[in-house]
Structure 1
Amino acid sequence: MADPFDTAGLRRRVLAAWTDSPARFREDANAEEDLVRGGYRDRLLVELAQNAADAAVRAGVPGRLRLELATVGGGGEVLRAANTGAPLDAAGVTGLATLRASAKRDEARTVGRFGVGFAAVLAVSDEPAVHSTPGGVRFSAAHTRAAVADVPALAGELARRDGAVPVLRLPWPADGPPPHGFATEVVLPLRAGSRAAVRGALEALEAELLLALPGLAEVEVAVDGAVRTLSCTRTPPLARVRDGDHTTTWRLATRSGELPAELLAGRPVEERARRGYDVTWAVPLDDDGRPVPLTGRQVVHAPTPSDEPLSLPVRLVAPFPLGPDRRHVAPGPVTDALVVVAADTYADLVTALPADPAVLGLVPRIGLAAAELDAALGSAVLDRLRAAAWLPAADDPARRQPPDRAAVLADDTDERVAVLAGVVPGLLPAGWSRRDGAPALAALGVRRIGPAEVVEAVSGIGRPADWWARLYAALDGADREELGALPVPLADGRTAPGPAGVLLPGEDLPVARLGPLHLRVADPGAVADPAARRLLERLGARPAAAAVVLADPAVRGAVEESVDAVEEGFDDGDPAALAEAVLALVAAAATAPGELPWLAELALPDAEGAWAPAGELLLPGAPLAAVLRDGALGMLDPGFAAAHDPAVLRAAGVLADFAVVHADDPDDLDVDAADEWADAVLDRLPPGGLPPAWPPLTAVRDLELVADWAGALPLLAAAPEEAWADVVLDGVAVPCYLRWWLSTHPVLGGRRPDRLCAPGSRELRGLYDPADGPASVLGRLRLPATVDDVLADVDTALDLLDRLGDPARTVPPPVLRTVHARLARALDGVDVDPPRRVRVAPDRVADPAREAVAVLDVPWVQPLVDALLVPAGGAPAAVADLLDLPLAGERVRAEVTSTPVRRQPWASVPGAGLAAARLGVPELTGEVAVHEPLLAGGRPVPWWPGDGVDHVDGSPAALGRALAWRARAWPLRQALAEAFADPGRAADLAAEDAVG
């Protein structure tokens, strides 16, 4: 077998060295064991790829690697790694067989780590071989063990190691060229039990490995005949990494250079000879070119994966010096220098990416560093990013700014950013305030702008109304507690310092005419957007339809002060302009006459060239003007009247007919005799009660100014129903002001309506004259038709008392029987002077000063009374008190003077059973004495009550009256007399009682 690399010579030299110094044997064996124990099985494929990449770089050709797991004859498993590039040479063989040394000392851009990487093959194989175009070399644990066993000086050491030997120190020639198209092939017969791990490593091999191996363009992975191709195509600054059918585009940022020699002092000679470096950061991009931060655990690639953790979500490839375990970066000046280069390169990467919020995912997070190197990288990167101008500006997409000049809205939207761009300095575009980017912005020092800062930024700036509308709409939904001072442009050119109290004009509001009112009405253009209105309402602004603005206290104040302002010179504008503004509001609000009584205070021009309150002016040609006294009210300027809608002028208080006024209490009714009406109303309420709670009151003004009542009454009859409606106090309905005033004044042909009666009244016929007039007017006045109507008011009750004593009047008999008693009840508690004459018959009055007049209080004395009797109506004491007359019972002093012919129980009187039934008692009690005749005081009487016995003359009428009085059932006296008049018909009469 040819031995082109003089492997025999290498073996002799190594064996001679071991023989001369068994310590060298132990050192080599221990070093190899350390490498194996280092767990290089997970790095095997990476080391093979790294060697392939270096071979391609040395040859200056695109690198290609084929990794194949196959089964060979006899059932063995083998891993083959074939690569293009520079073939194996004698120096390479020497490097393979010399632990911790390499033949790549002068190749600055190779990535292999000084021959140590090949030792990874020992993790899976005891018989590794390398086939190359010049020749091959193999290593064998068994052959090495046999060779060492023949050396007596090493036998003891071999025995102590149980036959374990350093496999990669003694090479043997190997037959067989590499596969066609490849320069070198590593053949690894797998140790028993290794296949599963190798297969898993092949399946897990990532295409992104090629990013760290620029000399390697393609890797084929063949497992049991299935082939997967990994490739990397570089078109700086992009690299497209393909894994089968899946392609990922990566953005690269690379810096190359050469480290100063002094930094490498103390490092191995191989490192000192290779001072060049390439530092690369790579991040995958989505289809839109935005970065997609890597997830999961990241490590530093130096240049192939190490165990050095990296919290930055990108791929770092840099030739950091590794420690003896080849897994962690060794600290020192070289590492520090490369950290600086890496930080600058990272800034290159980030600042070259599209200005999209996704880039914030690449900003180091404070406090997340996983190790010392990671912390150094993160801190250095953050310093670069804070100083670099790379953040976009919302107002100029092409401009970039450093973070310390940038600001982001705490809760941005496209609309908010669009409207605030150029207003908030350094504002970032929309989308940069997402929660996941907040830590990055905080780490960069970007100002976070909340609603309060937005308000501060927009205060004092000049912008058109539609800009403010867009601002308000954009801020809809923000925290209203921070927007309280948000400026609002007003329609008159002023700016309100906050929305509270600002009026938001409705479509019906005549904004252009409201200047003289100095209202805080928002510029209509600023609130045209519904979202803008919604925000301002949330902040205290009020929707302002014309009716709302008209009711604003500022408008009312201007109206109520307008006349005084004119008299004092009206130094705040023109009274005509104020009047026009108010009338425009009245028209837009469709205000009804009397709806806002204070409008009557508006100063308007009169026909004399002066200014007067609208409520004291008449419309030219108004019906009201024809019925009032001349000069009682002024006349509105005819020209001004012609220029305005009469309905609007009437709503403002100008008079065309009688004006209706409203109040919540009589004291606030500015009408004639309001206090007298209130007293009359209270007199109708039950005595002793608490002061009533007044309902809303309605009255008609200017009644005292009427000269022509014949013309005025039809106008008043047409007044609104509320002006005629009764007032209800504590459940009692009393006359409204209008009805009371008209009733108590001579408005019907010079006579008071309450001194007349309704046409057709039967109860009051003879006492009152019937009223005459239009039915509509008389119906509204509700003229008295009954005694109860008259007695409802103290004043008219007193008038009725006087009329009863008027000899020129007559009284219907049914009325006379009860009228005095009803008057006594109505006037109870009223200080009444007794009348000079009293009514004793329907057509007769008596003068108590000249004639004997009494009030009949007990019926049995009537035959003995020598006086004219006034019917008591069941209330003799009250009537006597009212009329200042004696009671009949007080005038008669008499006793029974006759002797009865018989005494018997009431129960034994014929007819007593029916009488008891009619009284509703089981049996009559007491006694009755019959006289023939019955004398009292020597004069005949029909009946006379007694303490124990009743006296009668024996007649049925006397029996009925005596029993009715005893039983306190005076209304039944006729029914009882009937029972005693015909006892034989008691059964028939009882049957009649049962009917119905």
Structure 2
Amino acid sequence: MLTAMLAGRTDPFDTAGIRRRVLAAWSDSPARFREDANAEEDLVRGGYRDRLLVELAQNAADAAARAGVPGRLRLELAAVGSEGAGGEVLHAANTGAPLDAAGVAGLATLRASAKRDQRQTVGRFGVGFAAVLAVSDEPAVHSQHGGVRFSAARTRAEVADVAALAGELARREGAVPVLRLPWPDGGPPRDGYATEVVLPLRAGSRAAVRAALGALDAGLLLALPGLAEVEVVVDGVVRTLSCTRTPPLARLRDGDATTTWRLGQRSGELPAGLLADRPVEERARRGYTVTWAVPLDDDGRPEPLPGRQVVHAPTPSDEPLSLPVRLVAPFPLGPDRRHVAPGPVTDALVAVAAEGYADLLAALSPDPAVLGLVPRIGLAAAELDAALGSAVLDRLRATAWLPAADGTRQQPDRAAVLDGGPDELVDVLTDVVPGLLPAGWARRDGAPALAALGVRRVGTAQVVEAVTAVARPPDWWARLYTALASADREELGALPVPLADGRTAPGPAGVLLPEPDLPVGRLGSLALRIAAPDAVAPPAARRLLERLGARPATAAAVLADPAVRAAVEESVDAVDEDLGETDPADLADAVLALVAAAGTAPGELPWLAELALPDDGGAWAPAGELLLPGAPLAAVLEDGALGVLDPGFAADHDPAALRAVGVLGTFALVRAEDPADLDVDAAEDWADAVLDRLPADAPPPAWPPLTAVRDLDLVADWDGALPLLAAAPEEAWADVVLDGVAVPGHLRWWLSTRPVLGGRRPDRLRAPDGRELDGLYDPAHAPPEVLARLRPPATVDDVLADPDAAADLLDRLGDPARTAPAAVLRTVYARLAAALDGIDVDPPARVRVAPDRVADPAREPVAVLDAPWLQPLADGALVPAGGAPGPVADLLDLPLLSERVQAAVTSTPVRRGPWAAVPGAGLAAARLGLPVLPGEVAVHGPLLAAGRPVAWWPGEGVDHVDGTPAALGRALAWRAGAWPLRQALAEAFAEPARSADLAAEDSVT
């Protein structure tokens, strides 16, 4: 049968001879057939379907390497034409050295290879081509020298003719070693290629092959340096994978997508002794190249590969690799051709790989992304992976590859990284913390890698310690504070703060943070802990220092500092005793600058008046005792009462600030919370006068804030002073309200009780329009604005409000040179009695009994009219009681008229009857609001008392009248207790016929 098959065929590779030799060997030794069948079955059972394309690419790379040309591989999945209906064929055409006789012999010899002493080849002995059996039973190889095909069916037919193998074939149910018997096959490879593998696919493998072609990765070319391009053609669609190498970079292209990889390679030759236990083919190939590869982004940063990787030895193995990179190394494989065999060769290559990995990381750009390539402790997935991770980590720890601040590289044991904190903090501390890694290297995701490398971590406390002794400009500190804004405050208590005067505060607590209005440059003499403005300018820096105990420092806040107040209050004594270390002019300049910036009002901070300022005689005096040169106040004070500020000093400073510290241009205000603290003339007397206006049984009042004007006792010219005082702030003139009672403030009281208006007291004059006091008081004469402030009395009530003024009015009423309006006289003594109740007042020597007449009780009888019916019997002058005869008599120390006149009715009435019977009684009752008039009335003609005529006389049950309407009205009003209605009642009795009309008039109101 074999002879018939070979008849008329060209057999350049002597496939007939190979078959004869193999069949002869099998015939002589069925065990050899069994061994070959088992070996091939093991390869197929090994699941090499997933490695088919890799093995084809590997063979293509080796063919290119042998020929010394760039390798190209075309993988095309085509529908079956002449190969058979309904199927698919995978074509793998490659450039390079074509298949020759030795290659055919190698293909047909499971344990041999044509690859000898070729370091550039990467294929594994006896494995590559056998992978085709995972998808095809009829593989063929076409070469420029000829073709060869293997066939399971034809092999089975050959074996069936060998009697010695019949039993074994039956036992194996027809399964035979396909790759042992080759047949010649026609046709050269497709144009442009040296060799083409043709694989008719078994039905069960077509989907897997199609999927494998779609998933083929351009990264495969990294492990195959001899292969430059792979074309993948599926359903007529071409996808090109290529690799362009420009060491140390490799650019992989997959269609339109290009990825740049950084390569790290180490090449050498293994010692022969290490290969002593390896197969002969491996012992002859001691050369190695170990390649690490990692993809780069557009900025040249490494992009760690996602997911679990595998070791490429040099094509993918089943050895897991936890490092996120591609490793290509000629590790020896075990019998399953999937896992790396342990031993000295593997150990040696692990060491080489570790050195190459350190070289790769050191060659990458110094970017934190490199930390993603550092092995993580405890993540190894297998023994080889653990060995690689450990060796790489050891080598990285001993290699200067981490970036240093000066641009060089440093070993991890000399490096430091911030334990948290923003990138800005790293930038600030670069030249402060030795070995500090650049910004970005402190990210949380890089912490495990840095920990594995043993990089020193620097916490906030160590940062504070590191900056404690450094000298840096304020803007550097501003950057530091801003970067530390979110740090733990517990660790920042000793954070230094540069001060405006060049000192450094050992911590933020108590430091003043200058606001924009603070004149920092002029405050050096105050020795305050004011932060350098540029150091605290950023808002984040200020917020941090405030959290740590620093205080915002407006000009007003600095003025309130106890140290500033102490310096001001001691300034004059320091000059006088020559104790101060600070030039008083510098202190004055600093305080005035603060006052100007704060907008302090005059008198707002009374202690500022203690500030030492130069006077015009060259001495130093408190600001509150100095006048501004040319000040209006100077013209109205006594000569020499106050000093004058040095004119040159005054010209150099803001007048408003000078006034605010107490230098006088006009009258100054004084403020206090209690009269005892009110440092002005007669403050205690004013307080007593105020209390006299309160009810005698009132509890001690709660004083409101008080304002007064100083230096009133130094005035020499009141005509010039009063307009200045009239222009004083409203608060100086405001009334003081105590327990609801408004009383004059100190200024108005003081001026009212001093002879400031033409030598007379304002409270002894009346307002020009005060007609009620006309005749009793002379009118005040002064500019309207002055009178509006002084408020001289305009009414009796104004006078009576002040007990002292009321006592004066009592005396004025007895002054014969004065007159009193009749309307005032009627009630004034009663009102005086009420106003002076409880006050010890001497009775006047004379009393007013008429608007233009006074009486002297020592010279004539004077009584207080308390019983109006007795008036005709009076033998002296009468004082109007104003409805309060008793209090008036007590006030004037006079008897009541009823006490002086003792009389009774001596005449006999002409008629007697009830009040209700008197004509007009009805209207009178209505006007009194009574249903009927009570009592009786007796009419005399005439009515006599003590023999003298009177108009009316009240009695217990009966009232006596002379019969006139006036008498009737008075008697009834007195009886009803309605004395003010006496005229209305008299009208009712005078015109009884008009009662109805008069009642109608009453209804109008």
In the TM superposition, residue 987 of structure 1 has moved relative to its aligned partner by 2.0
Contact 2:610 2:622 in 1 (8 A): yes
Structure 1 position 47, deviation (Å): 1.2
Whether 1:139 aligns to 2:150 is: yes
Task: Label 1:824 to 1:338 Cα distance change in 2 as closer, same or farther (>3 A).
Answer: farther
1:313 aligns with 2:321: no
**Aligned residue type for 2:796:** V
Q: 1:760 to 1:229 in 2, by over 3 A?
A: closer
Report the CA distance between 1:701 and its aligned residue: 1.0
Aligned to 2:4: none
Give 1:816's aligned amino acid: L
- Larger displacement relative to structure 2 (422-431 or 665-674): 422-431
How has the CA–CA distance of structure 1 residues 478 and 946 changed in structure 2, closer, same or farther, with 3 Å as cutoff? farther
In terms of mean alpha carbon deviation, does 463-472 or 741-750 score higher? 463-472
CA separation of 1:143 and 1:839: change in aligned 2, threshold 3 A = same
Q: Give TM-score scaled by structure 1 length.
A: 0.90
Q: Which moved more, 1:461-470 or 1:355-364?
A: 461-470
Output the amino acid matched with 2:988. A
Q: Please say if 1:342 is aligned against 2:353.
A: yes
Partner amino acid, structure 2, of 1:83: N
Among residues 554, 571, 578, which one is paired with 2:563 in the alignment?
554
> 2:791 aligned with 1:782, yes or no?
yes
Amino acid at match of 2:587: L
Q: Is 2:716 the counterpart of 1:707?
A: yes
2:503 paired residue among 463, 479, 494: 494
Write the letter of the residue equivalent to 1:717: A
In the alignment, the residues of structure 1 paired with residue 286 and residue 909 of structure 2 have an alpha-carbon distance, to the nearest angstrom, of: 164
Where do residues 320-339 of structure 1 align in structure 2 (5 Å cutoff)?
Answer: 320-339=331-350
Residue 280 of structure 1 deviates from its aligned partner by 0.6
2:676 to 667, 683, 687: 667
Counterpart of 2:779 in structure 1 is 770
Q: 1:804 to 1:305 in 2, by over 3 A?
A: same
Q: Match for residue 526 of structure 2?
A: 517
Distance (whole Å) between structure 1 residues aligned to residue 385 and residue 785 of structure 2: 103
What pairs with 1:747-896 in structure 2 (closer than 5 Å)?
747-835=756-844, 837-846=846-855, 854-857=863-866, 859=868, 869-885=878-894
Pick from 289, 305, 311: which aligns with 1:278? Answer: 289
Check 1:94–1:673 CA distance in 2 against 1; reply closer, same or farther (3 A cut).
same
SS of match in other structure, 2:360: helix
Q: 1:165 to 1:888 in 2, by over 3 A?
A: farther
Residue 41 of structure 1 deviates from its aligned partner by 1.8
Match status 1:124 vs 2:132? no
Counterparts of residues 392-471 of structure 1 (less than 5 Å): 392-394=403-405, 396-397=406-407, 399-409=408-418, 416-449=425-458, 452-468=461-477, 471=480
Offset at residue 357 of structure 1 (A): 2.8
In the TM superposition, what is the alpha-carbon distance from 1:191 to its structure 2 partner?
0.7
Shift of 1:989: 1.4
**Aligned counterparts of 1:829 and 1:328: Cα–Cα separation in 2:** 122
Larger deviation: 736-745 or 52-61?
52-61
Q: Cα distance, 1:388 vs. partner?
A: 1.8
Which of these residues, 712, 716, 726, is aligned with residue 725 of structure 2?
Answer: 716
From 95, 99, 111, the counterpart of 1:84 = 95
- The 8 Å contact of residues 473 and 529 in structure 1, kept in 2 or not, is answered as yes
Matched, 1:241 2:252: yes
Report percent identity of matched pairs: 83
Q: CA–CA distance in 2 between the matches of 1:681 and 1:904?
A: 59
**Structure 2, unpaired ranges of 5+:** 1-8
Is the alpha carbon distance of 1:753 and 1:30 closer, same or farther for their aligned partners in structure 2, counting shifts above 3 Å? same
Q: Deviations over 1:206-234 (max 9, x none)?
A: 11111011121222222233322222222
After superposing the two structures, state which structure 1 stretch, 190-199 or 646-655, moved more: 646-655
AA paired with 2:69?
Answer: V
Task: Give the C-alpha shift of residue 713 in structure 1.
Answer: 3.2
AA paired with 1:62? P
CA distance in 1, matches of 2:165, 2:962: 175
Distance 2:166 2:908 in 1: 178
Moved more, 252-261 or 4-13: 4-13
CA distance in 1, matches of 2:252, 2:646: 93
Residues 126, 703 of structure 1: alpha-carbon distance in 2 compared, 3 angstrom cutoff: same
User: Does the 8 Å contact 1:901/1:929 carry over to 2?
Assistant: no
Q: Which aligned pairs between 1:343-382 and structure 2 lie closer than 5 A?
A: 343-382=354-393
User: How many angstroms apart in 2 are the aligned matches of 1:371 and 1:884?
Assistant: 127
Q: Would the alpha carbon gap of residues 329 and 917 (structure 1) be closer, same or farther in structure 2, given more than 3 Å must change?
A: farther
Matching of residues 144-159 of structure 1 within 5 Å: 144-151=155-162, 154-159=165-170
CA distance in 2, matches of 1:383, 1:939: 144
* Residue 171 (1) aligns with residue 182 (2): yes
Per-residue CA deviation, residues 383-406 of structure 1 (Å, 9 max, x unaligned), is: 322332222233x33x22223333
Matching residue of 1:602: 611
1:194 to 199, 202, 205: 205
User: What is the distance in 2 between the residues matched to 1:368 and 1:966?
Assistant: 121
Q: Identify the match of residue 615 of structure 1 among 619, 624, 630.
A: 624
Equivalent residue runs for 1:531-546 within 5 Å: none
> What CA distance in whole angstroms lies between the structure 1 residues aligned with 2:159 and 2:792?
147
Structure 1 alignment gaps of length 5 or more: none
Distance 1:20 1:945 in 2: 178
Q: Deviations over 1:14-48 (max 9, x none)?
A: 55665666665555445444433433222110111
1:389 aligns with 2:397: no
* Alignment counterpart, residue 45 of structure 1, candidates 35, 53, 73: 53
Question: Following TM superposition, by how much is the alpha carbon of 1:130 offset from its aligned partner in structure 2, in angstroms?
Answer: 2.2
Greater shift in the superposed pair: 223-232 or 632-641: 632-641
Q: Which amino acid aligns with 1:137?
A: V
> Match for 2:231 among 192, 196, 220?
220
SS in structure 2 of the partner of residue 85 of structure 1: coil
Aligned counterparts of 1:206 and 1:638: Cα–Cα separation in 2: 93
Matched, 1:66 2:43: no
Change in Cα spacing, 1:835 to 1:21, as seen in structure 2 (3 Å) is farther
Q: Displacement, 1:314?
A: 1.5
CA shift, 1:596, in A, is: 3.8
What TM-score do you get using the length of structure 2 for normalisation? 0.89
| 1:763 aligned counterpart, secondary structure | helix
Deviation at 1:593, TM superposition (A): 4.2
Letter in 2 for 1:665: D
Superposed displacement of residue 125, structure 1: 0.9
Residue pair 1:756, 1:770 contacting (<8 A) in 2 also: yes
Q: 1:930 maps to what in 2?
A: 938
CA-to-partner distance for each residue in 1:485-518, whole Å, 9 max, x for gaps?
Answer: 4433333222233445544556765544433222
Which of the numbers 256, 259, 263 marks the counterpart of 2:267?
Answer: 256
1:231 aligned partner: 242
Q: Distance in 2 between matches of 1:22 and 1:962?
A: 170
CA distance in 1: counterparts of 2:40 and 2:897, whole angstroms: 152
Q: Kindly indicate whether the alpha-carbon contact (under 8 Å) linking 1:11 and 1:171 is maintained by their aligned counterparts in 2.
A: yes
Residue identity opposite 1:51 in structure 2: N
Whole-angstrom distance in 2 between the partners of 1:595 and 1:863: 68
Match of 1:633 in 2: 642
Equivalent-residue separation in structure 2 for 1:827 and 1:519 (angstroms): 59
- CA displacement at 1:177 relative to structure 2: 3.0
Aligned pair in 2 of structure 1 residues 346, 904: CA closer, same or farther (>3 Å)? farther
Report the Cα offset of residue 62 of structure 1. 2.6
Amino acid at match of 2:839: V
> What secondary structure does 1:194 align onto?
helix
Report deviation, 1:603: 1.6
Contact preservation (8 Å) 1:63, 1:216: yes
Query: Any idea what SS the aligned residue of 1:252 has?
Result: strand
Matches within 5 A, 1:903-922: 907-920=916-929
